[in-house]
Structure 1
């Protein structure tokens, strides 16, 4: 290695990229980032970018929140690391578990810690398998999710993820079943109302449960708003309809709130935004405002007691991670929850989400935007070749990637997902910063559509 090489060349020579469009990297190079200020990041060339992707949905308090870094430093000085095995855990872990149940929709419950949302979903699946076997139903192992959903990248959570790219790994594993996507604009039939679409999805879910055998279904996992599938909110009455079906067949409902949790949808939990009560919640990302890798399985009282009974029967739950309940991570999470809920960040989302929707709606009048969809501080614009027929652009044009790259050139970070461009800014974004986002996005869209339309 020669330090005379550029940062971009060194990154490409020694790093393996995940979820990255390699033709763009080969053509444009890697953006190597050095630091951040508020919602902005800076690269090795001194260029400044407004990060309207919040890092990866997670940096909700921005990139230099003094309170969060101080919480981390104080805990590193006090007790820099420990586990949660063998009947020992840090005081910060105890405090965070209490806080998570307090702010959850559950009156009582228990919390189990992981290092990511992927691991949390994976852990929840193992918990369900363990629980059902302990209750005399070892055949109750099948996991239901939705097409185009995203639940992680471990072998289990990738099997849950309803994305075709996982076929390159030989996934999904047997027993992971995907039902219909709740994307009304794309999959609603001609003349079908939103309510009728919901009813059809609920009927499909029930038919799938009957076909597979209700006594073989371990659980149903759903994001309140599908995030990495392109920001897809549920159709009207969706969670009420599927909750009835799941309750009828005794199938636990797990709300995957890795993206939605802690304010992204305008409520603390997406389940509150869409008025449903899950049996458990999966949390990560905003849990620590991105300042520490952490995930949590938050289990509601009824399911938690059943799981505890199963554990008591064999005297332990044989599962965990070295850094589960890490004291520094827990201290940061406690501060992050306080920052979001008590320092005005959640209030800012509610105050400005209407402005965000209105600004994007004006941009979405473009003839090449088929749909604007979202809620709170998570939105997507779907690019189309023809709005009337919802015809997408030819895949070889890589339209959303071109839009995102053009935005980057203009100093704005957004995310391409399929034919969509996703915006999920930090909760600290101000009105002038939002106007900056609109202006740069609009310019980028016009430039790309002029080239490909």
Structure 2
């Protein structure tokens, strides 16, 4: 009972964890990281093909980030952003976020996570609707299989059936169709026809619910925790046209895609649309500090400012909002992506990353590979021709991920898919190692279950 694994099991209540796997295998207790590798209490080394949880884009021991944190802790270790008081680092980060955003101007509100940022923007939209004499504008539209967080509100936005165990979603949270063409497209339907059908379904939903009851539409440029589902060509243009007809804000949830993951600084730039607001977290601090941000475009900035001035405040915030250490780290993380080569490395590695996914998709039990930039997925199927998934009780993706762990690779099972999102500091040799180990795991597990 004195092992690290038994101690973890005795005192830790696991979240988003396959409990049968932990019961059988034990937890993996980690001690440190070097570059894209992590090490456990037994000295075993793992290439982390998931960048922690999409966020450790600069690896696990970047000296520039740790030095920025240390220097700020020495200078001013903590403060809030209430009552018109905030650190100089907070001011500098807000300036930088608007500078690198797709907006010509705007304002930033800080949280501690992407979940809280989504929750905050929903409150902002409700606050705005009430202040503008439309208190009935409460409904929030997202997509099936999307992921927006774990607070009661952001979990209600998340289009995942597991939230039913909490009695969620709350009333007024509506999901429309997922833009997963391979899985959701009709037989004989082109990708363009699929996009137009989704746009028609969105408009029909808006009309059915009442256009004047909708507060906003939230969408990830690439659905992340739904299994890496890139938007089809023209999707956001078609959706935004519908939303603009009814005066409904489009919010880009860039918690995963922001700061380089798709090959551009923002996922909305990859898909060539400008949203009304952006939700940011994860790579914002390269995972070195918990932080989220609501980045408002010009229209929402002006309207929310007017609404707040009318009652002399915006009554919302968090004790650690705009934390000076987090802001100092974020400033350095953005500099690494923009000026020190991380974004260029994502672009350089993307063709090799996509080629690796495409090669593995030739396996008869891989139905589809999909991805954008340095985020990708392989979807396991029992029958490739019919796209029939494996029975759920076989836990195929979990078995693949566990086998990868046994061979020194961390990857993530999501539904029937295996997801990869390596750190931006990876080399071609790291990708070769990642795909080599994954190929061996696929062969082993499919031999057992196919």
| TM range, smaller chain | over 0.9
Summarize the alignment of residues 168-187 of structure 1 with structure 2, pairs less than 5 Å apart. 168-187=165-184
Tell me whether 1:423 sits opposite 2:420 in the alignment: yes
Match of 1:315 in 2: 312
Matched, 1:223 2:220: yes
Which among 70, 77, 81 is matched to residue 78 of structure 2? 81
> How far apart are the structure 1 equivalents of 2:232 and 2:107?
31
Q: Deviations over 1:227-285 (max 9, x none)?
A: 00000001121000000000000000000000000000000000000001100000000
The alpha-carbon deviation at position 361 of structure 1 amounts to: 0.8
Instruction: Report 1:185-334 matches (<5 A).
Output: 185-334=182-331
1:146 paired residue among 143, 148, 158: 143
2:370 aligned partner: 373
C-alpha displacement at 1:303, in angstroms? 1.1
Q: How many residues align?
A: 450
Match of 2:34 in 1: 37
Separation in structure 1 between the aligned mates of residue 350 and residue 58 of structure 2, nearest angstrom:
16
Aligned to 1:48: 45
Deviations 1:379-415 (A, max 9, x none): 0000000000000001000000000000000000000
Shift of 1:120: 0.1
**Whole-Å Cα distance in 2 between the matches of residues 356 and 131 of structure 1?**
43
The structure 2 residue matched to 1:60, chosen from 33, 57, 62, is 57
Q: Structure 2: which 5+ runs fail to align? A: none
Q: Deviations over 1:323-350 (max 9, x none)?
A: 0000000000000000111111100000
Cα distance in 1 for partners of 2:429, 2:441 equals 18
Partners of 1:433 and 1:111 in 2: CA distance:
36
Aligned equivalent of 2:10: 13
| Farther-moved stretch of structure 1 (300-309 vs 167-176) | 300-309
Partner of 2:439: 442
| Counterparts of 1:93 and 1:250, CA distance in 2 | 32
Give the C-alpha shift of residue 220 in structure 1. Answer: 0.1
Moved over 4 A (4+): none
CA distance in 1, matches of 2:51, 2:391: 29
d(CA) in 2 for partners of 1:101, 1:280: 11
Structure 1: give runs of 5+ residues left out of the alignment: none
Whether 2:73 is the aligned partner of 1:71: answer no
Aligned equivalents of 2:327, 2:374: Cα separation in 1:
25
In 1, Cα distance between the equivalents of 2:44 and 2:361? 28
Query: In structure 1, how many angstroms separate the alpha carbons of the residues matched to 2:231 and 2:94?
Result: 30
Distance in 1 separating the partners of 2:181 and 2:13 = 37
Distance (Å, rounded) in 1 between the aligned partners of 2:400 and 2:435: 13
Which digits, 9 at most, give the CA deviation of each residue in 1:200-222, with x for residues without a partner? 00000000000000000000000
Residues 1:397 and 2:394 aligned together: yes
**Aligned equivalents of 1:83 and 1:237: distance in 2?**
41
Distance 2:229 2:125 in 1: 27
